[in-house]
């Protein structure tokens, strides 16, 4: 026998203590009433007679003990259950470099990416998702989880300060994403890389090849306008970033993103500069990743421990109800009348 919540057994052990304390309070109350109530009224005002009280206490305490024991969820034996196979695990790697602050996508690339990732979160439906932010290195902001609220909170907090400063390294993003995925589940793993394509280290292809060897496709998502350059704000947010007296200009660099997708067996998808229902991450997820996941989600048999709490919960509730019927209070009177009415109707 095992228990899902073994700490509840401590409360079971406290039931006799509660019974002793209840007996003490009753005896003290009865002594005080006898001192101030006339003998002719004692029968009506005093609590139940000792024998009745003893039966009531045994019923109530036994019922509480059984209910608490049931709350510990005892399990023994095993049964075969049909369960769904492992769901897909998706790591979203988000570029938070300063080039993502360019406003060729409104309000800027980073905020557009966060809005689209939020749309992706709404499309998960049971799949687990993790979030990585990267610049020079990758930082795991949220491990694999099905908790959408926690994932959204991590996403909303993502800023250029969420990852170490330095030259943008797409390879570091892929490496961190691979580390977040369990190799034992590689048949169900995928990576979504959201970036403007700037890669100043040029080692992403080696990690894309490593992902391919593990059977993990990388879906690269290009954000920005590839046809024109855009400036980025400076650290104050009021001016333009300058380098050697010239404004820093960036554009969407698609070549690196395409090569990563091809090398890993994934797909490159450019997001339109104006949001449409067909170019959101949620739509991309439903179109590509969910198709693969649906092929892998099959039913399989699994041995699981059998829950036995019902064996103890039902008699426990019946004993508590029986103890209530022995009470001289209003509840017991109403309960007796209800039961009598039920019998007459039957």
Question: What confidence category does residue 28 fall into, taking pLDDT thresholds of 50, 70 and 90?
Answer: confident
Q: At 118, phi and psi to the nearest 5?
A: -60, -40
Same domain, 333 and 208: no
The CATH number assigned to the domain holding 180 equals: 3.40.50.410
Q: Please give the residue that has the higher pLDDT: either 11 or 276.
A: 11
Same domain, 293 and 310: no
CB 154 within 8 A of CB 142: yes
Same domain, 164 and 110: yes
pLDDT of residue 289: 67
| Of 340, 214, 192, residue with least CA distance to 267 | 192
Average pLDDT across the chain, whole number? 80
Same domain, 33 and 99: no
CA distances from 50 to 32, 126, 198, 296 (A): 16, 58, 85, 67
pLDDT at 323 over 60: yes
Q: Is residue 82 situated within a structural domain?
A: no
Q: Is residue 50 situated within a structural domain?
A: yes
CB 87 within 8 A of CB 126: yes
Find tokens 């022995």 and name the residue.
326
* Average pLDDT estimate for 231-254: 80
pLDDT at 260 over 50: yes
The percent of residues in the chain predicted with pLDDT above 70, rounded, is: 79
Same domain, 122 and 259: yes
CB 163 within 8 A of CB 138: yes
pLDDT at 66 over 50: yes
Question: What confidence category does residue 291 fall into, taking pLDDT thresholds of 50, 70 and 90?
Answer: low
Can the peptide bond before residue 331 be classed as cis, meaning omega within 30 degrees of 0? no
Q: Is residue 84 situated within a structural domain?
A: no
| Of 247, 240, 174, residue with least CA distance to 211 | 174
pLDDT of residue 227: 82
Q: Is residue 37 situated within a structural domain?
A: yes
Same domain, 312 and 253: no
Cα–Cα distance between 65 and 317 in angstroms, integer? 10
* Average pLDDT estimate for 99-123: 88
Cα–Cα distance between 50 and 237 in angstroms, integer? 81
Same domain, 173 and 118: yes
Domain extent at residue 129 = 89-297
Quote the number of domains for the chain: 2
pLDDT of residue 298: 47
**Token pair for 81:** 């259950």
């Amino acid at each position: 026998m095992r228990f899902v919540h073994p700490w509840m057994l401590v409360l079971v052990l406290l039931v006799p203590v509660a019974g002793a304390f209840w007996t003490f309070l009753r005896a003290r109350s009865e002594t005080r009433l006898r001192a101030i109530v006339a003998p002719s009224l004692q029968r009506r005002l005093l609590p139940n007679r000792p024998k009745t009280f003893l039966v009531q206490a045994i019923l109530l305490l036994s019922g509480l003990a059984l209910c608490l024991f049931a709350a510990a969820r005892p399990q023994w034996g095993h049964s075969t259950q049909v369960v769904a196979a492992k769901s897909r695990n998706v790591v979203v790697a988000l570029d938070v470099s300063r080039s993502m602050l360019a406003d060729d996508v409104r309000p800027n690339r980073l905020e557009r990416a966060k809005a689209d990732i939020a749309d992706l979160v709404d499309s998960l439906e049971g799949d687990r998702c993790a979030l990585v932010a990267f610049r020079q290195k990758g930082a795991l902001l949220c491990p694999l989880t099905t908790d959408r609220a926690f994932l959204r909170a991590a996403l909303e907090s993502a800023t250029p300060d969420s990852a170490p400063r330095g030259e943008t390294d797409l390879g570091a993003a892929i490496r961190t994403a691979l580390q977040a995925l369990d190799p034992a589940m590689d048949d169900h793993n995928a990576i979504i890389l959201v970036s403007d394509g700037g890669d100043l280290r040029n080692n992403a292809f080696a990690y894309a090849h490593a992902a391919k060897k593990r059977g993990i496709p990388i879906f690269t998502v290009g954000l920005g306008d590839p046809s024109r350059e855009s400036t980025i704000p400076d650290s104050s947010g009021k001016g333009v970033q300058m380098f050697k007296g010239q404004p820093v200009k960036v554009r969407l660099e698609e070549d690196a993103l395409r090569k990563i997708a091809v090398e890993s067996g994934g797909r490159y998808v450019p997001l339109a500069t104006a949001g449409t229902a067909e170019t959101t991450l949620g739509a991309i997820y439903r179109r590509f990743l969910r198709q693969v996941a649906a092929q892998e989600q099959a039913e399989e048999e699994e041995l699981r421990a059998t829950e036995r709490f019902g064996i103890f919960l039902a008699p426990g509730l019946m004993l508590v109800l029986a103890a209530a019927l022995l009470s001289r209070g209003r509840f017991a009177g109403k309960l007796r009348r209800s039961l009598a009415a039920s019998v007459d109707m039957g």
